[in-house]
Each structure stands twice: as structure tokens, then as C-alpha cells.
Chains A and B, each alone.
Chain A
Amino acid sequence: MTVGELWRRLLSLAHRSRLDRELEEELRLHIELRAKKYQEAGFPEEEACFAAKRQFGNSLMLRERSRELWAFRWLDEMARDIRFGARLLLRSPLFTAVVVLSLALGIGSNAAIFSIVDALMLRQLPVTAPDQLVLLSQRTAQEADYSWSYPLYEQFRDHVDALAGVLCIAGGGKMRATFHSAVSDSQPELVERQDVSGSYWSVLGVRAAVGRMFTQEDDQLDNPHDVAVISYAFWKNRFDLDPQVIGRTFILYNTPFTIIGVAPLQFRGTRPDEQPQIWVPVTTRKHLQPGFRAFTEHGSSWLTVIARLRPTTTSAQVRAQLDMLFQVDHREQLRRFGSQLTPQQLAEEQTRHVEVESGANGFSWNRDRYSRSLYVLLTIGGLVLLIACVNVATLLLARAAARRKEIAVRISIGAGRWRLCRQLLTESVLLSVAAGSLSVVVAIWGSRMLVGFASGDEPLKLNLAPDWRMFAFVTGLVIVTGILFGVAPALRSTRMDMSPVLKPATSGILVADKLGLRLDKSLIVAQVALTLLLVTTAALFIRTLDKLRTVDTGFDRDHVLLFSLDLGPSYDKLAVRWGLYHRILAELQRLPGTVAASFSMIPYLSHSSWTDNLVPDGYVRGKDEDVECYGVTVGPDFARAAGLKLLAGRDFGVEDQPQHPPAEPKPGVGPQLPSVVIVSESLARYYFGKQDPLGRYLHFDAPNAEAPQGRMRIVGVVNDTSYRSLRDPMPRAFYIPFFQTADEFGDDPTFFVRTYGSPDAISATVQRLVSRIDARIQATEIHTMRQMIDRDSLQERVLATLSAFLSGFALLLVSLGVYGVTAFSVTRRTGEIGIRMALGAQSGNVLRMVLGEVAVLVAMGGAAGVPLALALAGLLRSQLFGVGPRDPAALASAISVMLAVALAAAWIPARRAARVDPMVALRYE
């Protein structure tokens, strides 16, 4: 069939009636003309007419024939099938509703999870030729690190000719900005800022919607321009799309910035889960954070680097060129600091190299963090959908049984098997299309809910607008499910031998359709096996969450309030901050209900850490010995404020607080160490065993000029605690007093306030207290320790809740299936049961018999499902905490839940079987 022909045929569909009319007119004209000819030849009018018609042939048949020529016969038939199927489905609304709803939930939950996968991992950036972008990382055998130092970024930018351009992205975060206007200045408002290199816009190929984007010219290290580009959404929400926004200024800390451009509508940044409102050149950090040193430090990795390949280069060439530059820098680092590493660490560092990967969909810290969980969820979703399909297949089979007569009649009057199958498949496809359209709603709603839920208190800003991938995914699922659940019933119900069906039942007991029942039962067994797998997984995740929530963290989980300070530029001198910290601590201490207050530079569970090699004086370190310890710089009274147990010695107190900060370290000489240190139980045990650690000295094992100088006396021992996260083992830790450190060891204190009652109750008081001390600053990120724990176990909570929800849905489906099959078999066996009871069976026996059969099905499902669960659970190992993937308790609870649900579902039909009156049952036949 040529294209033109196809086109003409399709056109004909549109005006079928006109074609018919025209043909009819043509035929009429022919007959009339022929009749006229006969008349001219001398025949009487009537006879001429008749002869013309005879000569012409059967005009109705001719019209039919030419109509068939035009149309696609299958299209006609399909339309008929659809009409017929829809009528039939609407006649049994309950069946239709159950099928459509269970499929819609099945498809929808998959699509919801998929849309997050899509947003986080698959969506390409709306930039010029995203396929040319590559994301740079450094790898060792153990880890992949996507952070780079500024000096290396400069090297890559200036010395790799295989690249068309390189850009870098620093973090940013929320900052208070004051916008100027002609009338007055606005109140300070929080804006989401991102620091990017001047090359950002040109490398991405993103043009300004209004104004201009900043360039390399604006991003010079010796002369950064304080200019900003705002996002389209921010332009719309904050400035009502006012074109006059260009040239307006605002103050970030005390640096005035000028808005020079607006990003286009579809551009939301290069991290799929962030939506900056303001982009500024990264070198303006020098103005925003006086004393910010990382621009020249080779050891500080704080930038994400994305590069654009030249069309003629391959990523392998680029990798080689980048790696050459990197190795020079890296060897220099190793030469200077390698001596602090264990031989193992050194060996690992020597394998460190550059890797490039596609940057077409940007970069997200959450991608690595969530991808495993998302794939686990996607798998679970797929299994649930499979169960839903099996369940719908069971329902369709039962329905087919009810339609046997209709189908038998149709076969016996000559309907082709293929034609009948097509009719039945059309019905299944109708069902899955209905479910598919409903599932889009479920998916959009579900993905919003899922993201809201997974965000915790830090919203993930994913672009969840459905795109073509999502529609392709749903369409694919609709087609696959339609075939999956439709084919078996369609084939089976058209394969039957129709004679016994058409004959009225003659024998006393209806011959059960052996094959049919067997198929139904094997479908139930399959559902049970799959559901058991899901329930086991859910049980494992729930136990993991439970373990995480109750794990002994070593600090007080229930009575600690945490907060940070948002300091303005007025506090950029360490000595000024000292005064402020002292003042805040004193005021907090005076609050009624406070046990103690302190602060820490690295709060627990923050996923950041400070590690150093710490050893006692005179300690001889073994060759491969790992003496890495985890440090925390804390304020006075920390052990009490965090709820640590003081096992020996004392807390940091007044005697550890000099009145004036130590002098800044001189260049080339490391900072002076504090004179005292508190160590954790395991650190004390590691170095001193059973001996008393108090009064012993520790120092850093770091033979280079910039390392901290001096030694520290152990004044206290506290219990071990979790450090970076709940999941990590408790490390050997040490605590040093902030007020004795000259170097800042990171200077962004998180205050700890331990209360007698609920810590929530004082959060407003704390806020007021801070602004009373100085109206220019405020308390931010106010959390309870419990919230920190919840945040650290967020992913586990999402996994546990979702897998519980999905397996609950699977259980519901299985119970529907078990109910259906049991009810069906009880109805068919009414006669048999009647005979049994007439012969003396008690109703209890019948009940046991029916339930026993269900239990056998569950056992068979279990026999298939348990090994499956055991085999697959190993894949979940990295997602679990505190439970093994073959946790017997999880498995046992899954089996008992499964059994209970199946028996409960079978209970109603079993009771009906037990109540069969033998007289009625037998008389009925």
C-alpha cells in the first residue's frame, strides 16, 4: 500500500457518507441512461427500465463491495469490538471498577516513582546541545568524588584545548537579601542563591530572557563584579515580570549587587533538585565571605565542574588531557600530605584519577543518594503491577467462565477463533486504557506526595511536570499490562470444546473445568509468591527503620533543641563572635527549663566530619595502623548539653575559657592546640586499655609545618556516640574546647540546648532571645534532635512506608483473588458438598476442608516465594540497617500476615460452603 493510497483511504473515513451518496448517484445515472438507450431502441418504458437494472446487476451488493474497498475492514471491526466491549463492561460496573481501579493504582504508582526517576536522572537540561556536556569526577577504587578545588578548575578552564568550555558551580543556599526600590528598601527576604563561574551561561548556551548574562569578565578573581542573574520564576513572583528589574540593586550581607539579567523560563539551574532564584559570579564570595580562602587552596574541594566537549573530540581524549593536569596537582598534594596517610590510604590515593560522564542531565547530590532506593521502589512497583495483572487475569477468567455460553454460540455459528480472541483482547485493552488514563492522575498526585514526603523539612524541588517520557512509560505499561492479563484468558476461553457447554447440565455433579480451575489456582499461587516477596521486603524495611529510630546514639535524643545563627557582616571578626557566643550561652543557661547549653562546630548526624590522626605522646604507630580519630570542636558544658555520660574526669568549664581569643597563627606555623581534650570511651580503651587515661597527653601525628602545634591533656572521658550518621559505626572521637582554638576548625556553631521538658516548647523563646541580643541576627535551622534523627533516617522511612503501602495493596489484591477463586469453586462444588454433608460431614469439616485448600495454596505460594525472597533480599543489603537480608523475624511475620489475609479472604465463601443445606443442594440438581 503506497502512502498516497493510505492517505486517500484515511480521507475517505472522514466523509464516508458523501462517498456513499456519490456512488449511489452515479449508479442511478447509469441505470437511467441505459434505460433511456433501450427506450430509444424502441422498448416500452417499463421494460427498458427493468432490462437496464438486470443488465446492471445487484446495485446494493456493488455498493457494499466498493465500500469495503475503501475502508480498512479491521478498522471497522475494531470500532465494532470497542463499542461491543464497552457496552459489556458497563453492564458489569463492579467488575469493571475493581479491574480499572486496581490497574490504575498499579500503573499509577509505577508512573509516580518513574516520574521522580525521570526528574532526577533522565531529564536533559534545557540548554544548547546537552549531549556535549560532561560531568567531571575523581575516582579511586573505593569512591567517586564530584567536588573540585578552584585551582584545578582554573587549570581545566585554561589548559584543556579538547574542551569548548568549562564551568563550575559552588553551593549557595538561602541568604537574606534587601531589595532597593525608588520608594523604600524591602524587608530582608530569604533568597536561594547559587554561585557559578562566569563561563556558566556561555558554556551552557543559555541566553538571557531579559538583559544580559554575566561572563568571565564579571568573574575575575582580582576584581569580581557584584552582578546577579535572577530566575524567571523569581522575576515573575517577586517582580511581576517588570522589565525595569534590570539595573535594580539588592544587598546580600552588606554587598550591593545589581541585577543584570533574567534567565529563560525553562531554565531552572543545573541541579535537578534545586531551583536557585539568584545566580552570582562565584568570585563574589570574596565580598560575601571576607577571609574566604578556598580560591587558592588546592586541598579544598567545593565545586561541581561541568565541561562542554568540542564536537570533534571524544570524552576519552578529554579524560586523558584532564587527568594529566590532575595528576600533577594530585602528586604535589600527596607529596605534602601523604605522610599522614596509612599505606592503605596512600595506595588508594595513588589510584585517584579523573573520570568524565554525561552531564546532559546535570548533577545532583541526591541522585546517588536516592537512586538505589528509587530502583528498589520501581522494582517493588513493578511486582505490584504484575500481581495486579495476575489478579485481573483471574477475574477475567472467572468472567470468561460466565460467558462460556455466549462464546460457544459464537464459535458454533462460525466466528473465527482469532476474531473472538480479538474481541476479548479489545476488552482487556479497553480496561487497561481506562486504567491508564486514570493512572496519570494517580501518578501526578502520587509523585507530588512522594516528593513532599521524601523531602522532610528540606524540600526537594523537582520538576515533576509530566513529559513525553512519562507518557511513553504509561503507554508502554498500558500496552504490556493489557496483553499480560488479557492473553491467557482470551486464549483459554476460545479453546474450549463447546459441546458440553451448550448441553444443559445432565450429570448430578457438574464436571469441574479441570484445566480452568488449575489455571486459576496456579495464578493464585503466583500471586501469593510475589506478595510474600513484597511483604518480606516491607518487613525488612520496617525493621530497619525501627532499628534506626531506637538505635543507641549515645546522646540525648529527646530533650535537645538545635539551632544555628544567621550572622550579618558585623560579626566577621573572630573576637566579636567570641563575645556573642559567650553572651548567647549565658542567656540560654538562664532560661527556665534548661539543663545546659553549649554548641558544636560539627553537630551529630550532619554527614560532615573532621578526621585527624591523633596519638598519645610517645606512641609508636604500627605500619598499617589506622589512627584516624573523629574530632568535634565544642563549647563549655558540652557533655551535659548533649546528654553524654561523663565516664571519668570533667566537662569543659570556666577554666577552659580564656577571656581573649588566641592570636591568629603566623604563616608557616600551625595553630596552637588547646591544652585540654575530652575523649570517647573507645578512644581511651584503644590507647590506654584498662589504664587511667586522665592526665595523659595526645597530639596530632602530622609531621608538617601547617599542622596544629602542641599537645593536649585528657581531662574527661565520655561514652561513644554516633557521629556522621546513624548508620555508621561509632568512631573513636575527641572533643576540643572552641574557646581555646585560634584556628577556627570550621566556624559555624550549632547550639545545643538540653531541656527538662519537650525541646519544642522553647524554640520560640530561643528565637526571641537571639533577636533580643542583636536585632541584626537571627536563629535559623531550629530543629530538635529527634528531627535530626528523623532526617537522617528519612530515606528508610520513605522506603518503609512506601513498601508497606505497596505490599498492603498487593495483599488486598491477593485477598480479592483468593476470595474470587474460593467463592467460584464453592459454588461449583455445591452439589459435592451437599453429598458430603448428606453422608455425615459436619459443617466444621467442610469449613476446614475449604480453608485447608486455601492454606495449601498459600503453602505452595510460600514454597515458591520464600526462596525467591531469600535470593533477592541480598540485593537489599545496602538499604538495611541492623537486620540481615534473611532476617527470620521478617520472613516469619510476612508468612503469617500472608496466611492470615488469605484465610480471612477465604472465610466468607468457606462459611457459605459450611452452611450448605444438603437437601437444597441436592434438590437443586
Chain B
Amino acid sequence: MLILKSVARRAEMHGFEIADYIQQISEDVLTVEEGSLYPALQRLLIKGWIIGEWGKTADNRRARYYRLTGTGRKQLEDQIERYQRVSQAIARVIEMA
């Protein structure tokens, strides 16, 4: 979801940008082995939620840029909604306790 969200934020990002972005906005809380991002990206590709296109970085290196597809966007919305429902429920449980 995080990856989807990051990709959704900007039109296109390549792998390193996504990793960097997640790291930054989560303020280094969510650092995992950065490499594990890639199998996750592949999974999203297979599912057809994102597509990757080769392009050039600012300093003219070849990089794959990922972009959200229609189904991907819908998926993201679903997941955010579900997450919010769950987290609200948890929050309520915690408040009651």
C-alpha cells in the first residue's frame, strides 16, 4: 500500500525514488532492507496495478519509472479505506480501554 501510495503521489517514480520517499516520509521508522522493495514492485507489476516504463533520470541514467494504472488506483483507494476502518476500530478499542 505504501508503495502504491508513493507511486500515486507523483506521476512517475523509479525504484530508488520510491525507497527514498518511503524512508523520508516515514521518518526512517519503516526502513527495511531496501532491496525487498523490488520483489514487491514485481508483484504489483504482475497484478497489473502499476506499469513500468524505461526513461532517463536527471543525470541521464536509464531507470524504470513506475506509474499507477486504473486498477491500481482503485486498489489503493480500497486499501486506504479498509486500513482506515481497521485503524479507527483499533483506535476506538484503545480509547474505550
Q: A: which residues have CB within 8 A of B? A: 2, 4-5, 8-9, 22-23, 25-27, 29-30, 33-34, 37, 55-59, 62, 65-66, 69-70
Contact = CB atoms under 8 A, between A and B. Distances in A.
A56 B34 contact: yes
A25 B35 contact: no
Nearest to A37: B20
Interface stretch (B2-10, B58-66, B79-87): B58-66
Nearest to A68: B39
A55 B37 CA distance: 12
Contact of A58 (B14, B15, B16, B35): B35
Given A25-B62, A30-B16, A9 B46 contact: yes
Interface string B24-57: 0000000001111011001101111000001000
A65 B54 CA distance: 22
B48 A2 contact: yes
A59 B39 CA distance: 10
Contacts of B39: 62, 65-66, 69
Given A4-B48, A8-B45, A26 B38 contact: yes
A62 B36 contact: yes
B5 to A, nearest CB: 19
B19 interface: yes
B48 A57 contact: no
Nearest to B45: A8
B19 A66 contact: no
Most buried by A among B35, B46, B48: B35
A8 B50 CA distance: 12
A25 B52 CA distance: 14
Contacts of A62: 35-36, 38-39
Given A2-B48, A8-B46, A26-B64, 15 more contacts: A8-B45, A23-B38, A26-B63, A27-B35, A27-B38, A29-B14, A29-B15, A34-B16, A34-B34, A37-B20, A55-B34, A56-B33, A57-B35, A57-B36, A62-B39
Contacts of A58: 35
Contacts of B19: 30
Interface residues of B, number: 22
Contacts of A4: 48
A119 to B, nearest CB: 48
Most buried by B among A4, A26, A37, A66: A26
A56 B19 CA distance: 10
A29 B34 CA distance: 13
Nearest to A61: B35
B67 to A, nearest CB: 15
B15 A8 contact: no
A608 to B, nearest CB: 73
Contacts of A65: 39
Contacts of A69: 39, 42-43, 46
A533 to B, nearest CB: 55
Contact of B33 (A26, A33, A55): A55
Contacts of A57: 33-36
17 contacts: A5-B46, A9-B46, A26-B14, A26-B15, A27-B38, A29-B15, A29-B16, A29-B62, A30-B19, A30-B35, A34-B16, A37-B20, A62-B39, A65-B39, A69-B42, A69-B43, A69-B46
A66 B38 contact: yes
Contacts of A33: 16
A171 to B, nearest CB: 65
A29 to B, nearest CB: 6
Contacts of B46: 5, 8-9, 69-70
Given A5-B47, A5-B48, A30 B34 contact: yes
